[in-house]
């Protein structure tokens, strides 16, 4: 057996060992656990490894057609995705036929069109893996590797609400410049021996370009959602004001959640529970910058909250921004399925699963060990927050069945 195969086998055995430890040794309270949640978790763990390979078996469809058909109102991709490796391989390798400036926003990005007509968003590398972003939790440039890590965390949590993301190396001189629009091309420059560009965005500056290593630039590519699913933007009810000295209502009003529950689309349907799921997700990745969010249009509150733009995360492993969890600790409700999944991931399982899921990405290692350790530590804080709620209000009030209407709360 080759050394690489042995390493992979040992990694799989390690994940299975930890998984078994959680269920057999840690004495999890299974009276509140749903058996289907356990089976779903086991399926996720066994299918965690995504090996990028070009072959698509048993279909004549393109990778882009398959990914487009996956999208439905409550998930971006299904629970079982045998074609995921082929789709991500296409995202990481297909020829770039057009490059343009990114869609409007505050951060540098490029909009690429790959062979077959598929749009992807390219976010360039701005920091080394060990760089620590100091200052406010939303400070600094976007982190391309954070998009990759956030996608795999979305898989592990079982949310399936984040668009597909994979790392990619591009040659700016041979792959981008020949197919770039004039608007993008005008932002290219040479710094030392490195090709750079600064693009078009609110904070984009010629003095702060993203630079390749020579001509080769590391980045992430995010699969564009199908145009048949237009997006609607919403202000996050727990968003910041971003004004010095001015607090948002949730920062001083202890009964704020009661007011949110009386406001559409949070007064019925799944949206409020999606907000709370997202607060857990954002806290785990250290993202304090979700001031808006997107859903599908004309959904009357039934669409999922789509986990877009996760790059303002994994900046500082020491960050413990508890305010991100405000929807959870102010409303004191959480989905049963989310609660079960979080419990299954404690005792080091989350760190191991995340590391294993990202091992085959082209830009691996995606995260440094301090960031992986931080995710595990933040998970404990989430579990402790839910326990405080259940101690105060009881399990039956705090743990909400996924399909239960919220009118009873």
Per residue in 324-339, pLDDT (tens digit) is 999 999 999 999 999 9
Q: What is the rounded distance in angstroms from the CA atom of residue 291 to the CA atom of residue 289?
A: 6
Binding site annotation covers 223? yes
Can you give the pLDDT at residue 11? 56
Q: What is the rounded distance in angstroms from the CA atom of residue 386 to the CA atom of residue 399?
A: 9
Neighbours of 228 (CB within 10 A): 8
Can you give the pLDDT at residue 138? 83
Binding site annotation covers 282? no
Q: Are 154 and 308 in contact (CB under 8 A)?
A: no
Give the CA angle between residues 67, 220, 86 to the nearest 5°: 35
Q: What is the rounded distance in angstroms from the CA atom of residue 103 to the CA atom of residue 91?
A: 19
CA 213 vs CA 189, 192, 194, 361, 365: distances in Å: 13, 10, 6, 19, 18
Average pLDDT value for residue range 172-179: 98
- The span from the first CA to the last CA of the chain, in angstroms, equals 57
Write phi, then psi, for 180 (nearest 5 degrees). -80, 145
Whether 289 shows a pLDDT value over 60: the answer reads yes
pLDDT in tens, 223-256: 999 999 999 999 999 998 888 889 999 999 999 9
Look over the chain and give the mean of its residue pLDDT values, rounded to a whole number. Answer: 90
Virtual torsion, Cα 51, 349, 138, 311, nearest 10 deg: 10
Tokens standing for residue 307 = 């986990």
Average pLDDT value for residue range 334-355: 95
Binding site annotation covers 70? no
Whether 376 shows a pLDDT value over 70: the answer reads yes
Binding site annotation covers 123? yes
Give the single-character DSSP code of 320.
-
Write phi, then psi, for 188 (nearest 5 degrees). -85, 145
Counting every residue written for the chain, the total comes to 409
Q: What is the rounded distance in angstroms from the CA atom of residue 241 to the CA atom of residue 249?
A: 9
Give the single-character DSSP code of 102.
P
Q: CA nearest 384: which of 318, 351, 321, 339?
A: 339
Can you give the pLDDT at residue 41? 86
Taking every pair of Cα atoms in the chain, the longest distance, rounded to a whole number of angstroms, is 64
Catalytic pick among 100, 274, 277, 289: 289
Average pLDDT value for residue range 264-273: 94
Can you give the pLDDT at residue 304? 96
Binned at pLDDT 50, 70 and 90, residue 28 comes out as very low
Q: What is the rounded distance in angstroms from the CA atom of residue 138 to the CA atom of residue 117?
A: 34
Binding site annotation covers 305? no
Task: Identify the H or E element spanning 334.
Answer: strand 334-335
Can you give the pLDDT at residue 25? 37
Binding site annotation covers 154? no
pLDDT in tens, 77-129: 999 999 999 999 999 999 999 999 998 789 999 999 999 999 999 999 999 99
Distance of CA 277 to the CA centre of its chain: 12
Average pLDDT value for residue range 157-174: 98
Neighbours of 206 (CB within 10 A): 10
Q: What is the rounded distance in angstroms from the CA atom of residue 318 to the CA atom of residue 122?
A: 28
Q: CA nearest 72: which of 161, 193, 10, 165?
A: 161
Binned at pLDDT 50, 70 and 90, residue 162 comes out as very high
Binding site annotation covers 253? no
Q: What is the rounded distance in angstroms from the CA atom of residue 147 to the CA atom of residue 157?
A: 15
Which residues have a Cβ under 8 Å from the Cβ of 357 and sit 6 or more positions away?
48, 49, 50, 152, 155, 156
Looking at per-residue confidence, does 341 or 403 come out higher?
341
pTM of this structure: 0.91
Q: What is the rounded distance in angstroms from the CA atom of residue 140 to the CA atom of residue 210?
A: 13
Neighbours of 373 (CB within 10 A): 14
Can you give the pLDDT at residue 59? 80
| Domain ranges across the chain | 59-223, 231-400
Can you give the pLDDT at residue 250? 96
Q: CA nearest 90: which of 53, 65, 119, 61?
A: 53
Examine the residue annotation and report whether 289 is marked as an active-site residue of this protein.
Answer: yes
CA 299 vs CA 149, 279, 294, 295, 296: distances in Å: 28, 21, 11, 8, 6
What DSSP line would sit under 163-228, residue for residue?
--EEEEEEEIIIIIGGGB-HHHHTTEEEETTEEEE--SSTT--TTS-EE-BTTEEEEEEEEPPPTT
Task: Identify the H or E element spanning 399.
Answer: strand 399-400
Handedness of CA 319, 377, 236, 201 (dihedral sign): positive
């Amino acid at each position: 057996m080759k050394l690489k195969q042995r390493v992979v086998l040992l990694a799989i055995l390690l994940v299975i060992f930890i998984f078994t430890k959680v269920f057999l040794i840690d004495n999890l309270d299974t009276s509140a656990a749903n058996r289907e949640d356990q089976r779903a978790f086991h399926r996720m763990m066994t299918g965690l490894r995504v090996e990028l390979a070009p072959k698509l078996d048993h279909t004549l469809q393109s990778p882009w057609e398959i990914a487009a058909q996956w999208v439905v109102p409550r998930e971006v991709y299904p629970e079982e995705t045998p074609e995921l490796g082929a789709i991500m391989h296409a995202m990481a390798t297909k020829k770039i036929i057009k490059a343009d400036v990114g869609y409007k926003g505050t951060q540098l990005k490029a909009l690429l069109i790959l062979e077959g007509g598929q749009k992807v968003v390219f976010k360039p590398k701005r920091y080394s893996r060990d760089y620590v972003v100091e200052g406010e939790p939303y400070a600094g440039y976007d982190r391309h590797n954070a998009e990759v890590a956030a996608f795999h965390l979305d898989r592990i949590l079982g949310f399936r609400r984040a668009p597909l993301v994979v790392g990619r190396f591009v040659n700016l001189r041979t792959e981008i410049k020949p197919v770039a629009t004039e608007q993008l091309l005008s932002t290219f420059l040479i710094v030392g021996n490195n090709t750079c560009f600064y693009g078009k965005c609110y904070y984009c500056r010629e003095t702060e370009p993203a630079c390749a290593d020579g001509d080769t630039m590391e980045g992430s590519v995010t699969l564009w959602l199908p145009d048949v699913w237009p997006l609607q933007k919403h202000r996050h009810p727990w968003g910041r004001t971003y004004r010095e000295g001015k607090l948002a209502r949730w920062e001083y009003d202890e009964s704020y959640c009661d007011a949110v529950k009386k406001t559409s689309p949070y007064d019925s349907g799944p949206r409020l529970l999606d907000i709370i799921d997202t607060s857990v997700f954002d806290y785990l990745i250290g993202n304090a910058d979700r001031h808006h969010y997107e859903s599908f249009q004309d959904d009357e509150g039934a669409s999922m909250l789509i986990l877009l733009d996760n790059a303002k995360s994994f900046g500082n492993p020491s960050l413990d921004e508890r305010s991100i969890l405000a929807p959870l600790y102010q409303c004191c409700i959480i989905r049963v399925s989310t609660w079960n999944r979080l419990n299954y991931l404690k005792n080091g399982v989350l760190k191991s699963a995340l590391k294993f899921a990202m091992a085959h990405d082209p830009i691996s290692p995606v995260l440094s060990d301090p960031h992986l350790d931080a995710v595990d530590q933040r998970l404990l804080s989430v579990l402790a927050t839910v326990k405080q709620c259940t101690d105060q209000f009881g399990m039956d009030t705090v743990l909400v069945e996924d399909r239960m209407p919220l009118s009873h709360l």
